[in-house]
Amino acid sequence: MRPSLLLHSLALCAALGLAACGGTAPTRPAAAADVQPPVPAPIRIGIALGGGAAKGFAHIGVIKMLEANGLAPAVVSGTSAGSVVGALYASGMNAFDLQEKAVALDETRIRDLQLSTGGMVLGQKLEDYVNEQVRRKPLEQLAKPFVAVATRLEDGERTVFARGNTGQAVRASSSVPGVFQPVSIGKFHFVDGGIVSPVPVDAARQLGADIVIAVDISNKARGQSPANLLGALNQSIAIMGQKLGQAELARADVIITPQVLDIGPADFSQRTSAIVEGEKAALAAMPQIRERVAQLQAERAKAARLAQQKVAETQYQACLDNRSRLQKLAGLAQLDDTCAAPK
């Protein structure tokens, strides 16, 4: 008998499971199961709120527009004024709650003047106000993951507060040197985070954000002399952190820059204007945000399809390997359909 006919006979024998061709019929291996496509993980949007004193009311307008467009941040990082807004938002307030708090805010509730060589403002009132608003919850128990960034005075190290007293962390992050007294925590002292991280993009990324939206309200040197001491101090901090901040800012996916440079660092009377500028800037950035979200969704969908294909191929190969010898011979003659090839 010719070899080809012999192979065909053996394969046919295996396919039919005839006892006369070598005993009992081979056990049918488990066929490859249908592979369900993995569900891509939801995209986590992070918002990095920069420092800028009274300009920080603009953050509320940005958050307001993100929520209105179904893009509410899942994680929040804040520096200085951004840490104040960030802590309240992370506590569970929505943008309208924040706006209501901002409009009703009495400056005397957060400003406690005290003559000292370390600064004119003690900062205890700010700490107490924040803790009251977040219902005295520590950072790790807030509704959204949140961190406040400060500068360690002893060595200039960037410090990210993720646990402990929320109000104290915000106070440390907001302690402008020469204005606020440094905050003592443990064996170290802390001052404004804007010195080392004006817009805390990296901190938001470390919280697990897939897309980081940075809100930059920092002072920019525009060839003009500040009108007062507080303005000079704020601009000095901005200049110190500008080079370092530019590198970190470049790592954001989207940068929103509300037009609030003309609002003074202590000008609470323009809080409504700042909120409106935040809204306008966020709306202008919305196409870019949506494009980045769509791009990341497409990347994840592609990765999910590739993962699905790899699993199907692995299962198919396992099915082929588990066939009996006779089934494999039948497969050579294309008479065995035990294992369905992945599509």
Catalytic residue among 91, 192, 216, 253: 192
Q: Output b/e per residue, 12-23; b: 16+ Cβ within 10 A.
A: ebbbebeeeeee
Pairing outcome for strands 146-152 and 188-192? antiparallel
Neighbour tally for 325: CB within 10 Å: 11
Burial-class residue 155 by CB neighbours within 10 Å (0-12, 13-18, 19+): exposed
80 is catalytic: yes
Taken as a whole, the chain contains a residue count of 343
270: left (phi over 0), alpha (psi -120 to 50) or beta: alpha
Catalytic residue among 80, 91, 174, 175: 80
192 is catalytic: yes
> For residue 313, how many C-alpha atoms fall within 13 Å in the half-sphere facing its CB?
6
Catalytic site positions: 80, 192
